Amino acid sequence: MQLPLTSSSLLLLPLMTLLLNSVSAEHQDAFKMNYDNVNELKNNEIMNSKNNNKNNNNPTSDHRFQLLDEIMIKLGFATDDIGVSSSSSFNNNNNNDDDERSKKNPFFPTCLSDLNFKVESHLKKNDKKFTKTQRESEFTVKNVEKLGDNYQLRVNSIKNPEKLGVEVLADQYSGYLDVEDEDKHFFFWFFESRNEPSKDPIILWLNGGPGCSSLTGLFFELGPSSIGPDLRPIHNPYSWNKNASVIFLDQPVNVGYSYSSNSISNTVSAGKDVYAFLELFFQKFPQFLQNEFHIAGESYAGHYIPQFAKEILVDHPERSFELQSVMIGNGLTDPLNQYPYYHDMACGVKSGYKSVLSEDECDNMLDTLPRCLSLIEACYSTESVWTCVPASLYCNNAQMGPYQQTGLNVYDIRKPCVGELCYEDMKYIDEYLNQDYVKKAVGADENIEQYQSCNMEINQNFLFQGDWMKPIFKKDVQTLLDLELPVLIYAGDKDFICNWLGNLGWTNELEYADHTEFSSKDLEAWFVDGEEAGEFKNAGYLTFVRNYDGGHMVPYDQPEAALAMIQSWTLKGQKIEKNGTVY
């Protein structure tokens, strides 16, 4: 996950990075909750908000950060030897060397603390309402009866795919979902199947963050092409559109090519817009209504997908399309049952990899775990920002901080963290998508000044809503299983941030009709073209897959095995074949 920051789910954006940027903690003792102070804190929030609205025009002095300082102090949020770095030591402008900076921010390796996430709007200056800068579209779709007059879908076919070079073997479309009264504009890019688009399944792909573009998944993981150092597309023979048509949706707004003068701050509010997008998409492409439709994603999409699927199945019986299954890779869904496994993953306990921490560091993670879990339990019980935000801060710092101090890649325990989001090649995606000819070819609206893979402001908004630790997404999965919707949870076994142990752990604990059978089953070997590629188990409508030698982004590390898994699931009736193959 990220502590807060990643890319697409990409990556859960590291919360640690947020702390380094903005959160100040003075006290260096032990973290304790004192609920007697909650009402006082709420009153202080109101006063801080009023004072800051009057007197403070500095966007980095968000009143929520000041409030958070008070929460941390008045609730006894202490940092001791798993401390939270102070904002003053991070935000100063002096040119300390890396060693000095590491001392001030002891739990953040230089490669992470130096990440430069863009927090300013990527819209051109002076653009307040954006309808005048929208590019002309070939098709505009509305459905007043189901959605009212508020939603419209603008669609363009990619006219010169050879020049763009991303996909030349299948038709492709791009465009925007416009939410008129809220001034929200969601970008999408749709690739038809290279095989038989009239029969092959449809997959909606979502990256996480929260606040990261799904185009990261397109170009770094599972799309028709990757981007090379020369900013030219490189054909991907293992693209998921080999036997499926795939939609990449930039959501929430202000991610990637999506934009708005407003913002989204929690997963639930984003679900309504995704439903509206799908309703209009299938209205524009009715030939796909008979095809099986799936939603897939990774990382913070472990929040998005359960909520969006529930929105579709429970809240919209009038829908024109059907949802066949959901697939979540290396996701964050049930923190209470996932956080105990950060220790095991970092310290080599039944993880399949060696320990990367010292014995003392591993002991310290165990010592702080009970307090972490008690805070998450408080969040689960109240679902309040007053319990969920402190749980996020304390647990991410205590259970992820020691690992991040090593300088290793949080998305792949075998590798050092080098470059943007710990991957050097990630920068080529931003550079490619910021070229004017690319923007024009895909129909990105003209007011988009700069494509950005991840938007830290969105990540902060989700954090301050307490979205990170809430239990509703686990409950949503239970609802989906009760509705007999197949659910695939898969995880690369070299990821730390949303590791396979935690994903196996929470699925084993999930209460549903076939819980006893699922939790009692052992994992069995899974093969791809004769080679052992992982392990899996299934009971009822729930399936878990461990992907050998995959990191946070399984299609990036193991493209052939990932494609075999997805083909087996989508083409073989939502089953994982013990002896899989790439079709």
What are 13-30's pLDDT values in tens digits?
Answer: 444 344 434 333 332 232
Domain of 402? 354-406
Does a structural domain hold residue 229?
yes
**Angstrom distance (rounded) from CA 36 to CA 559:** 52
Same domain, 301 and 435: yes
pLDDT, tens digit (0-9, with 9 covering 90-100), for 476-526: 999 999 999 999 999 999 999 999 999 999 999 999 999 999 999 999 999
pLDDT tens digits, 351-374: 999 999 999 999 999 999 999 999
Which one is catalytic: 214, 299, 325, 392?
299
Is 382 found in the same domain as 250? no
Q: What is the mean pLDDT of residues 153-182?
A: 94
Q: What are the distances in angstroms from CA 402 to CA 205, 214, 343, 398?
A: 32, 29, 10, 7
| Lowest pLDDT segment from 27-36, 223-232, 278-287 | 27-36
Same domain (yes/no): 214, 264: yes
Q: Is residue 453 assigned to a domain?
A: yes
Classify residue 274: in a domain, yes or no. Answer: yes
Q: Assess whether 296 and 376 both reside in one domain.
A: no
Q: Any idea which residue has 């092959």 for tokens? A: 200
In a shared domain, residues 522 and 422? yes
The 3-state DSSP class for residue 294 equals strand
Of residues 569, 573, 581, 567, the one with CA closest to residue 243: 567
Active-site residue, selected from the candidate residues 185, 343, 515, 552: 552
Spatial distance between the Cα atoms of 254 and 121, rounded to a whole number of angstroms: 8
Q: Spell out where 417-541 has E strands.
A: 487-492, 524-528, 531-539
- Asked whether residue 32 carries a pLDDT value surpassing 50, the answer given is no
Residue 391 lies in a domain: yes
Is 345 inside any structural domain?
A: no
Q: Are residues 472 and 392 part of one domain? A: no
User: Is the CB of residue 495 less than 8 Å from the CB of residue 412?
Assistant: yes
Do 461 and 551 share a structural domain? yes
Report the CATH number that the domain containing residue 363 is assigned in CATH: 1.10.287.410
Is residue 295 located within the same domain as residue 394?
Answer: no
List 193, 495, 557, 568, catalytic entry: 495
One domain, residues 372 and 292 = no
Tell which of 367, 386, 406 closes a domain: 406
Question: Is the model's pLDDT at 112 over the cut of 50?
Answer: no
DSSP H helices, 196-291, are 215-217, 267-284
Q: Is 128 within a domain?
A: no
Q: Has 299 been annotated as catalytic?
A: yes
406/401 Cα distance (integer angstroms): 9
The CATH number of whichever domain residue 463 belongs to comes to 3.40.50.1820
Q: What is the pLDDT of residue 310?
A: 97
Same domain, 220 and 192: yes
Q: Which residue among 390, 406, 422 closes a domain?
A: 406
Q: Is residue 382 part of a domain?
A: yes
- The predicted model scores a pTM of 0.83
Q: Structure tokens of 51?
A: 């004072």
Does 205 score more than 60 pLDDT?
yes
495 is catalytic: yes
The domain boundary, picked from 406, 431, 450, lies at 406
C-beta neighbour count of 373 within 10 angstroms? 18
Q: 196 and 293 in one domain?
A: yes
Query: The tokens of 60 are what?
Result: 């980095």
pLDDT, tens digit (0-9, with 9 covering 90-100), for 220-250: 999 999 999 999 999 999 999 999 999 999 9
Overall number of domains in the chain: 2
The answer as to whether 114 is a domain residue is no
Are residues 538 and 395 part of one domain? Answer: no
The confidence score (pLDDT) of residue 123 equals 53
Cα 35 from Cα 38, distance rounded (Å): 5
